Structures are given as C-alpha cells and as structure tokens.
Chains A and B, each alone.
Chain A
Amino acid sequence: EAQVTQNPRYLITVTGKKLTVTCSQNMNHEYMSWYRQDPGLGLRQIYYSMNVEVTDKGDVPEGYKVSRKEKRNFPLILESPSPNQTSLYFCASSRSRDATYEQYFGPGTRLTVT
C-alpha cells in the first residue's frame, strides 16, 4: 500500500530532551516536507527537501533540523524541545521536485513538550 508513515504517533516529552520524529514514504517520491498544525495558526511548513541531500527552510524552521540521506526517509529533529513546539506534526511527500503535484500526508504526530 502506498503510504507515508510517521513515528511515533504520540509523544510526551520534557523541555530540552532531544527527540526525532521519523517519516518514511514508499512511493519513490522526490519531494518531502514537514508541517506543524496549531489552533488559530493553521498548517505551516517547517522544512522541505527536493531530493537526497537537498533541504531548505519553510515558514517556521526555528528550533528544528532535518536530514535527507535516503530518498524514502526525512526525519525531523528537535535538539532542545520547548513547550512552544507542542503541536501536531505532519510529514508529506510528492512525486515532483516541488509542490506543484499532489501532496500525500502522513497520519500525524501529536507532540507535547512539558
């Protein structure tokens, strides 16, 4: 089944404890990206990647890192999480190298930082 997977789906952590949210797609897609969703602010892009080893900042990159060492994986790293990073996170992928084609979203990761 073609899909985007994320792990973990739910995470409660404490301020400053490094964490990684994994994202994987099995569709051989070029483009991958991360979004966060917050009440009143909607969905906003954090980082994106057009290809292996090519990443760039989205609208809200502060406090996050990403890497794209393999085509199928695009992990999101929070090196020192803070309470304002409590959010619902989505990974997405697309077959083109930009956002002009259909984006497929993962199931979401609900993160709480205390």
Chain B
Amino acid sequence: GIQVEQSPPDLILQEGANSTLRCNFSDSVNNLQWFHQNPWGQLINLFYIPSGTKQNGRLSATTVATERYSLLYISSSQTTDSGVYFCAVNSGGGADGLTFGKGTHLIIQP
C-alpha cells in the first residue's frame, strides 16, 4: 500500500514563530487532507488538497502531486496551534479509506 511519511516528528516553537510541516507519499493520490488533532483528541479538518495551494487565515498548504509531497505552513503560531498534525491520503480511487502518516507533534510555548 501507499506509504506516508511526515516530518519533523516533533517541533517545539515559541509563540509567533512560523513553521513548515512536510508530508511525502509514495504513490499518486486522489485525496490528500491535513488534520489537526487537538489535546482533547478531536480531528479538525484543515485542508482538502490533492493538488495546488490553499490558504485559510494563518494556515496554508501546497501539494505538488507530481513530486509526491505536501507542505503545511503555519504562520505567527499561537499556543492553540499545539497538537498533532496529520497528513492523510487515498490512492487508487478506492473505497478503502485514508492512509494516515504518523503525524507531527507541535508544541507552541508562550
């Protein structure tokens, strides 16, 4: 099956800093999503981005499908940005769900 690798696994930043999270995948994808899992365990949809670039406030994402990677940018970090960020993909057009990466654990210190 498709492999999804996220980097870095852990990241500690001061409030106000910018960060870039990376997701590499091993095959072509039909679906790529970024999620934020907050400290209460909830998965929050950030972006549905199988290709191209999107922005939502302080967050933006870019997927270069031909090179099999996606980047999530967080600018002017806030403590509420802390949590785990997951990249998840679907490959092959099947109904068998999303394959998740192991996540990037982000801690924003005040």
Residues of B contacting A97 in the complex (Cβ-Cβ under 8 angstroms): 95
Secondary structure class of chain B's binding surface, majority of residues: loop
Interface size class for chain B?
20 to 34
Count residues on chain A whose CB falls below 8 Å from chain B CBs.
Answer: 26
Q: Give 28 pairs: A residue, B residue, CB < 8 Å, sorted on A.
A: A31-B95, A35-B97, A42-B103, A43-B88, A43-B100, A45-B96, A45-B97, A45-B98, A48-B96, A48-B97, A58-B97, A59-B97, A90-B43, A92-B97, A92-B98, A98-B90, A98-B93, A99-B31, A99-B97, A100-B30, A100-B31, A100-B90, A101-B31, A102-B45, A103-B88, A108-B41, A108-B42, A108-B43
Chain B positions near chain A (C-beta within 8 angstroms): 30-31, 33, 35, 41-43, 45, 48, 86, 88, 90, 93-98, 100-103
